[in-house]
Amino acid sequence: MNEQHCGYVSIIGRPNVGKSTLLNHLLGQKISITSRKPQTTRHRLLGIKTENGNQIIYVDTPGLHQDKHTAMNRYLNRAASSSLVGVDVIVWLVEALRWWDEDEHILKMLQGSNIPIILAVNKVDKVKNVNELLPYLKEVTAKHAFETVFPISAAKGDNLIELEQKVTQLLPISPPFFPEDQITDRSERFLVAEIVREKLLRRLGAELPYRITVEIEHFAEEDNIIHISAVIWVERNGQKAIVIGHKGKNLKEVGQSARLDIEKMLDNKVFLQLWVKVKQGWYDDERALRQLGYKEEY
Ligand code: GDP
Ligand code: MG
Protein backbone atom coordinates (compact mmCIF):
# COMPACT_ATOMS: atom_id res chain seq x y z
CA MET A 1 0.00 0.00 0.00
CA ASN A 2 1.14 3.53 -0.70
CA GLU A 3 1.97 5.86 2.13
CA GLN A 4 -1.00 7.57 3.74
CA HIS A 5 -1.29 11.34 3.84
CA CYS A 6 -3.34 13.36 6.28
CA GLY A 7 -3.51 17.03 7.16
CA TYR A 8 -5.33 20.34 7.28
CA VAL A 9 -6.08 22.46 4.24
CA SER A 10 -7.39 26.00 4.45
CA ILE A 11 -9.59 27.29 1.69
CA ILE A 12 -9.20 31.05 1.72
CA GLY A 13 -10.25 33.97 -0.44
CA ARG A 14 -12.41 37.06 -0.51
CA PRO A 15 -16.13 36.73 0.18
CA ASN A 16 -18.14 35.32 -2.74
CA VAL A 17 -15.19 33.86 -4.60
CA GLY A 18 -16.63 30.34 -4.29
CA LYS A 19 -15.02 28.76 -1.21
CA SER A 20 -18.13 27.04 0.09
CA THR A 21 -19.13 25.90 -3.38
CA LEU A 22 -15.69 24.32 -3.78
CA LEU A 23 -15.86 22.58 -0.42
CA ASN A 24 -19.31 21.15 -1.11
CA HIS A 25 -18.20 19.88 -4.49
CA LEU A 26 -15.04 18.28 -3.13
CA LEU A 27 -16.98 16.55 -0.38
CA GLY A 28 -19.81 15.55 -2.68
CA GLN A 29 -22.20 16.74 -0.01
CA LYS A 30 -23.50 20.04 1.17
CA ILE A 31 -22.03 21.08 4.47
CA SER A 32 -21.33 24.72 3.80
CA ILE A 33 -24.04 27.11 2.72
CA THR A 34 -23.69 29.36 -0.31
CA SER A 35 -25.41 32.42 -1.73
CA ARG A 36 -24.58 35.48 -3.76
CA LYS A 37 -24.42 37.63 -0.63
CA PRO A 38 -21.23 38.25 1.31
CA GLN A 39 -21.13 36.91 4.88
CA THR A 40 -22.91 33.72 3.93
CA THR A 41 -20.23 31.75 5.76
CA ARG A 42 -19.83 32.92 9.34
CA HIS A 43 -18.27 29.98 11.11
CA ARG A 44 -15.16 27.98 10.71
CA LEU A 45 -16.17 24.57 9.53
CA LEU A 46 -14.24 21.36 8.85
CA GLY A 47 -15.00 19.23 5.83
CA ILE A 48 -13.30 15.84 6.04
CA LYS A 49 -12.61 13.66 3.03
CA THR A 50 -11.07 10.22 3.30
CA GLU A 51 -10.14 8.39 0.13
CA ASN A 52 -7.72 5.49 -0.47
CA GLY A 53 -6.39 5.87 3.06
CA ASN A 54 -5.61 9.56 2.61
CA GLN A 55 -7.50 12.14 4.64
CA ILE A 56 -7.87 15.77 3.69
CA ILE A 57 -9.32 17.98 6.40
CA TYR A 58 -10.62 21.13 4.73
CA VAL A 59 -11.17 24.28 6.73
CA ASP A 60 -13.85 26.55 5.25
CA THR A 61 -13.70 30.02 6.70
CA PRO A 62 -15.58 33.27 6.47
CA GLY A 63 -13.94 35.70 4.05
CA LEU A 64 -11.94 38.54 5.51
CA HIS A 65 -13.99 41.64 6.09
CA GLN A 66 -12.43 45.03 5.74
CA ASP A 67 -15.03 46.86 7.79
CA LYS A 68 -14.01 46.21 11.39
CA HIS A 69 -16.68 48.32 13.00
CA THR A 70 -19.07 45.72 14.29
CA ALA A 71 -18.55 42.86 16.71
CA MET A 72 -19.70 40.47 13.98
CA ASN A 73 -17.06 41.61 11.53
CA ARG A 74 -14.37 41.42 14.21
CA TYR A 75 -15.49 37.85 14.89
CA LEU A 76 -15.39 37.00 11.19
CA ASN A 77 -11.89 38.39 10.81
CA ARG A 78 -10.57 36.45 13.79
CA ALA A 79 -12.06 33.26 12.38
CA ALA A 80 -10.55 33.94 8.95
CA SER A 81 -7.03 34.93 10.13
CA SER A 82 -6.75 31.90 12.35
CA SER A 83 -7.08 29.71 9.27
CA LEU A 84 -3.67 30.87 8.05
CA VAL A 85 -1.76 29.22 10.86
CA GLY A 86 -1.49 25.59 11.80
CA VAL A 87 -2.51 24.23 8.42
CA ASP A 88 -0.41 22.15 6.03
CA VAL A 89 -1.62 23.58 2.74
CA ILE A 90 -3.49 26.72 1.71
CA VAL A 91 -5.80 26.76 -1.28
CA TRP A 92 -6.33 30.39 -2.19
CA LEU A 93 -9.24 31.15 -4.47
CA VAL A 94 -9.37 34.14 -6.77
CA GLU A 95 -11.83 34.82 -9.55
CA ALA A 96 -10.71 34.44 -13.16
CA LEU A 97 -9.81 37.78 -14.79
CA ARG A 98 -10.32 39.66 -11.53
CA TRP A 99 -7.93 41.02 -8.97
CA TRP A 100 -9.60 42.93 -6.15
CA ASP A 101 -8.20 45.06 -3.32
CA GLU A 102 -9.18 42.22 -1.03
CA ASP A 103 -6.99 39.82 -3.03
CA GLU A 104 -4.09 42.24 -2.68
CA HIS A 105 -4.76 42.35 1.07
CA ILE A 106 -4.65 38.55 1.29
CA LEU A 107 -1.44 38.44 -0.75
CA LYS A 108 0.18 40.75 1.82
CA MET A 109 -0.99 38.54 4.68
CA LEU A 110 0.48 35.48 2.98
CA GLN A 111 3.86 37.01 2.35
CA GLY A 112 6.41 35.50 4.68
CA SER A 113 4.27 32.45 5.35
CA ASN A 114 6.07 29.20 4.59
CA ILE A 115 2.92 27.15 4.12
CA PRO A 116 2.63 25.80 0.56
CA ILE A 117 -0.01 27.76 -1.34
CA ILE A 118 -2.00 26.56 -4.31
CA LEU A 119 -3.66 29.36 -6.24
CA ALA A 120 -7.00 28.23 -7.65
CA VAL A 121 -8.41 30.53 -10.29
CA ASN A 122 -12.14 29.93 -9.95
CA LYS A 123 -15.20 30.55 -12.13
CA VAL A 124 -13.33 29.84 -15.36
CA ASP A 125 -16.68 28.66 -16.76
CA LYS A 126 -17.62 32.36 -16.90
CA VAL A 127 -14.71 33.22 -19.17
CA LYS A 128 -16.03 33.43 -22.73
CA ASN A 129 -12.72 33.86 -24.48
CA VAL A 130 -9.99 31.46 -23.35
CA ASN A 131 -7.33 33.72 -24.86
CA GLU A 132 -8.03 36.17 -22.09
CA LEU A 133 -7.29 33.58 -19.45
CA LEU A 134 -3.68 32.88 -20.39
CA PRO A 135 -2.27 36.36 -19.75
CA TYR A 136 -4.25 36.51 -16.51
CA LEU A 137 -2.79 33.19 -15.33
CA LYS A 138 0.68 34.39 -16.18
CA GLU A 139 0.17 37.61 -14.29
CA VAL A 140 -1.15 36.01 -11.08
CA THR A 141 1.44 33.23 -11.16
CA ALA A 142 4.14 35.90 -10.87
CA LYS A 143 2.66 37.40 -7.71
CA HIS A 144 3.97 34.77 -5.30
CA ALA A 145 6.00 31.56 -5.20
CA PHE A 146 2.90 29.37 -5.49
CA GLU A 147 3.23 25.60 -5.44
CA THR A 148 1.07 25.63 -8.51
CA VAL A 149 -1.76 27.54 -10.16
CA PHE A 150 -4.95 25.75 -11.22
CA PRO A 151 -7.79 27.19 -13.26
CA ILE A 152 -10.94 25.59 -11.83
CA SER A 153 -14.69 25.78 -11.77
CA ALA A 154 -15.99 24.98 -8.32
CA ALA A 155 -19.55 25.04 -9.62
CA LYS A 156 -18.98 22.75 -12.61
CA GLY A 157 -16.26 20.61 -11.04
CA ASP A 158 -13.60 21.36 -13.65
CA ASN A 159 -10.04 20.42 -12.67
CA LEU A 160 -10.99 19.53 -9.10
CA ILE A 161 -9.58 15.99 -9.24
CA GLU A 162 -6.20 17.40 -10.27
CA LEU A 163 -6.42 20.01 -7.54
CA GLU A 164 -7.16 17.40 -4.92
CA GLN A 165 -4.33 15.14 -6.08
CA LYS A 166 -1.90 18.01 -5.68
CA VAL A 167 -3.28 18.85 -2.23
CA THR A 168 -2.91 15.24 -1.10
CA GLN A 169 0.72 15.08 -2.26
CA LEU A 170 1.53 18.15 -0.19
CA LEU A 171 0.10 16.73 3.06
CA PRO A 172 2.33 15.11 5.65
CA ILE A 173 2.58 11.35 5.80
CA SER A 174 0.26 10.33 8.59
CA PRO A 175 -2.63 8.01 9.34
CA PRO A 176 -6.10 9.66 9.38
CA PHE A 177 -7.05 11.84 12.39
CA PHE A 178 -10.80 11.33 12.06
CA PRO A 179 -12.89 8.20 11.48
CA GLU A 180 -13.28 7.40 7.79
CA ASP A 181 -17.02 8.09 7.66
CA GLN A 182 -16.94 11.45 9.43
CA ILE A 183 -17.42 14.37 7.03
CA THR A 184 -17.62 17.37 9.33
CA ASP A 185 -16.92 18.49 12.89
CA ARG A 186 -20.27 20.22 13.14
CA SER A 187 -23.46 18.88 14.66
CA GLU A 188 -26.62 18.23 12.71
CA ARG A 189 -28.26 21.06 14.68
CA PHE A 190 -25.65 23.47 13.42
CA LEU A 191 -26.01 22.32 9.82
CA VAL A 192 -29.79 22.63 10.03
CA ALA A 193 -29.55 26.22 11.30
CA GLU A 194 -27.17 27.00 8.44
CA ILE A 195 -29.55 25.58 5.84
CA VAL A 196 -32.37 27.78 7.14
CA ARG A 197 -30.05 30.78 7.02
CA GLU A 198 -29.09 29.94 3.44
CA LYS A 199 -32.72 29.89 2.34
CA LEU A 200 -33.33 33.23 4.03
CA LEU A 201 -30.32 34.77 2.32
CA ARG A 202 -31.48 33.48 -1.04
CA ARG A 203 -35.15 34.25 -0.62
CA LEU A 204 -34.87 37.75 0.78
CA GLY A 205 -33.61 40.43 -1.57
CA ALA A 206 -31.22 43.26 -0.91
CA GLU A 207 -33.82 44.95 1.31
CA LEU A 208 -32.96 42.58 4.11
CA PRO A 209 -29.71 43.24 5.87
CA TYR A 210 -27.68 40.14 6.51
CA ARG A 211 -28.21 40.87 10.18
CA ILE A 212 -30.11 37.71 10.70
CA THR A 213 -29.27 34.58 12.61
CA VAL A 214 -30.93 31.23 13.26
CA GLU A 215 -31.10 29.31 16.51
CA ILE A 216 -32.37 25.74 16.85
CA GLU A 217 -34.63 25.50 19.91
CA HIS A 218 -35.86 21.96 19.57
CA PHE A 219 -34.49 18.96 17.67
CA ALA A 220 -35.92 15.55 18.48
CA GLU A 221 -37.15 12.43 16.78
CA GLU A 222 -40.69 11.31 17.53
CA ASP A 223 -42.49 8.54 15.63
CA ASN A 224 -39.82 8.40 12.90
CA ILE A 225 -40.18 12.11 12.18
CA ILE A 226 -37.55 14.62 13.20
CA HIS A 227 -39.24 17.61 14.77
CA ILE A 228 -37.25 20.80 14.55
CA SER A 229 -38.14 24.28 15.67
CA ALA A 230 -35.91 27.20 14.88
CA VAL A 231 -35.94 30.87 15.82
CA ILE A 232 -34.92 33.43 13.23
CA TRP A 233 -33.46 36.38 15.12
CA VAL A 234 -33.69 39.84 13.61
CA GLU A 235 -32.88 43.25 15.01
CA ARG A 236 -36.08 45.21 14.42
CA ASN A 237 -39.81 44.74 14.00
CA GLY A 238 -39.62 46.00 10.42
CA GLN A 239 -37.17 43.22 9.58
CA LYS A 240 -39.48 40.71 11.19
CA ALA A 241 -42.28 41.77 8.85
CA ILE A 242 -39.98 41.41 5.84
CA VAL A 243 -38.84 37.93 6.85
CA ILE A 244 -42.43 36.79 7.35
CA GLY A 245 -43.62 38.44 4.13
CA HIS A 246 -47.11 39.17 2.85
CA LYS A 247 -49.50 36.67 4.45
CA GLY A 248 -46.49 34.69 5.62
CA LYS A 249 -45.37 33.89 2.07
CA ASN A 250 -41.62 34.35 2.57
CA LEU A 251 -41.43 32.34 5.74
CA LYS A 252 -43.49 29.57 4.21
CA GLU A 253 -41.24 29.27 1.17
CA VAL A 254 -38.08 29.44 3.26
CA GLY A 255 -39.48 26.70 5.46
CA GLN A 256 -40.42 24.48 2.54
CA SER A 257 -37.12 24.63 0.72
CA ALA A 258 -35.15 24.32 3.97
CA ARG A 259 -37.16 21.26 4.95
CA LEU A 260 -36.39 19.54 1.64
CA ASP A 261 -32.64 20.10 2.08
CA ILE A 262 -32.73 19.02 5.71
CA GLU A 263 -34.62 15.85 4.83
CA LYS A 264 -32.00 15.06 2.23
CA MET A 265 -29.16 15.68 4.65
CA LEU A 266 -30.69 13.70 7.52
CA ASP A 267 -32.25 11.11 5.25
CA ASN A 268 -35.43 11.32 7.27
CA LYS A 269 -38.85 12.92 7.25
CA VAL A 270 -38.73 16.32 8.95
CA PHE A 271 -41.30 18.57 10.56
CA LEU A 272 -39.88 22.09 10.61
CA GLN A 273 -41.31 25.06 12.48
CA LEU A 274 -39.87 28.54 12.11
CA TRP A 275 -40.38 31.51 14.43
CA VAL A 276 -39.22 35.06 13.89
CA LYS A 277 -38.17 37.02 16.96
CA VAL A 278 -36.59 40.41 17.59
CA LYS A 279 -33.42 40.84 19.63
CA GLN A 280 -32.22 44.40 19.41
CA GLY A 281 -28.57 45.02 18.62
CA TRP A 282 -27.42 41.39 18.63
CA TYR A 283 -25.14 42.05 15.70
CA ASP A 284 -22.92 44.48 17.59
CA ASP A 285 -23.09 42.89 21.00
CA GLU A 286 -20.26 40.51 21.87
CA ARG A 287 -22.28 38.74 24.54
CA ALA A 288 -25.36 38.28 22.37
CA LEU A 289 -23.11 36.88 19.64
CA ARG A 290 -21.66 34.30 21.98
CA GLN A 291 -25.14 33.30 23.14
CA LEU A 292 -26.14 32.78 19.54
CA GLY A 293 -23.24 30.44 18.93
CA TYR A 294 -20.59 32.76 17.50
CA LYS A 295 -17.90 31.41 19.77
CA GLU A 296 -14.20 31.03 19.26
CA GLU A 297 -13.50 27.37 18.69
CA TYR A 298 -9.95 27.19 17.56
P1 GDP B 1 -17.77 32.04 -0.63
O2 GDP B 1 -18.29 33.31 -0.02
O3 GDP B 1 -16.35 32.21 -1.07
O4 GDP B 1 -17.98 30.83 0.21
O5 GDP B 1 -18.59 31.85 -2.00
P6 GDP B 1 -19.80 30.87 -2.32
O7 GDP B 1 -19.34 29.46 -2.45
O8 GDP B 1 -20.92 31.15 -1.37
O9 GDP B 1 -20.18 31.35 -3.82
C10 GDP B 1 -20.55 32.67 -4.12
C11 GDP B 1 -21.30 32.69 -5.44
O12 GDP B 1 -20.44 32.34 -6.53
C13 GDP B 1 -22.46 31.70 -5.49
O14 GDP B 1 -23.54 32.33 -6.15
C15 GDP B 1 -21.92 30.55 -6.31
O16 GDP B 1 -22.92 29.84 -7.00
C17 GDP B 1 -20.99 31.26 -7.29
N18 GDP B 1 -19.90 30.39 -7.77
C19 GDP B 1 -19.04 29.67 -7.02
N20 GDP B 1 -18.18 28.97 -7.79
C21 GDP B 1 -18.51 29.24 -9.09
C22 GDP B 1 -17.98 28.80 -10.36
O23 GDP B 1 -17.06 28.00 -10.49
N24 GDP B 1 -18.59 29.32 -11.47
C25 GDP B 1 -19.63 30.20 -11.39
N26 GDP B 1 -20.14 30.65 -12.54
N27 GDP B 1 -20.14 30.62 -10.22
C28 GDP B 1 -19.60 30.14 -9.07
MG1 MG C 1 -18.67 30.62 2.10
Domain at 270, CATH number:
3.30.300.20
Ligand lying nearest the CA atom of residue 152: 1
Q: For ligand 1, is residue 17 a contact (CB within 6 Å)?
A: yes
Considering the domain architecture, whether residues 39 and 67 belong to the same structural domain is answered as yes
Distance, CA 18 to ligand 2 centroid (Å)?
Answer: 7
Tell me if 21 CB under 6 Å of ligand 1: yes
Instruction: Name the residue range of residue 28's domain.
Output: 6-170
Q: Is 178 among the domain residues?
A: no
Q: Are residues 198 and 138 in the same domain?
A: no
Q: 3-class SS at 275? A: strand
Tell me if 18 CB under 6 Å of ligand 1.
yes
154 and 195, same structural domain? no
C-alpha to C-alpha distance for 45 and 183, rounded to whole angstroms = 11
Does the CB atom of residue 5 touch ligand 1 within 6 A?
no
Q: Are residues 233 and 132 in the same domain?
A: no
Ligand 1 atom closest to Cα of residue 60: 4
Ligand 1 site, residue 54, Cβ cutoff 6 A? no
Instruction: Give the ligand at the shortest distance from the Cα of 36.
Output: 1
Q: Are residues 71 and 35 in the same domain?
A: yes
Question: What pLDDT was estimated at residue 96?
Answer: 97
Q: How do the pLDDT tens digits run along the chain, 298 residues long? A: 578 999 999 988 888 899 889 988 998 866 666 666 555 555 567 889 999 999 999 987 655 445 556 665 665 566 556 667 678 999 999 999 999 988 998 898 888 788 999 999 999 999 999 899 999 999 999 999 999 999 999 999 999 999 999 999 999 999 999 998 888 888 888 889 988 988 898 888 665 656 788 999 999 989 999 999 999 998 888 889 999 999 999 999 999 999 998 998 888 899 999 999 998 766 666 666 666 665 544 3
Q: Report the domain count for the chain.
A: 2
Cβ burial 65-87 (10 Å sphere, 16+ → b, else e): beeeeebbbbbbbebbebbbeeb
Residue 1 lies in a domain: no
Give domain status of residue 176, yes or no. Answer: no
Helix (H) or strand (E) holding 51: strand 45-51
Q: Is the Cβ atom of 15 under 6 angstroms away from ligand 1?
A: yes
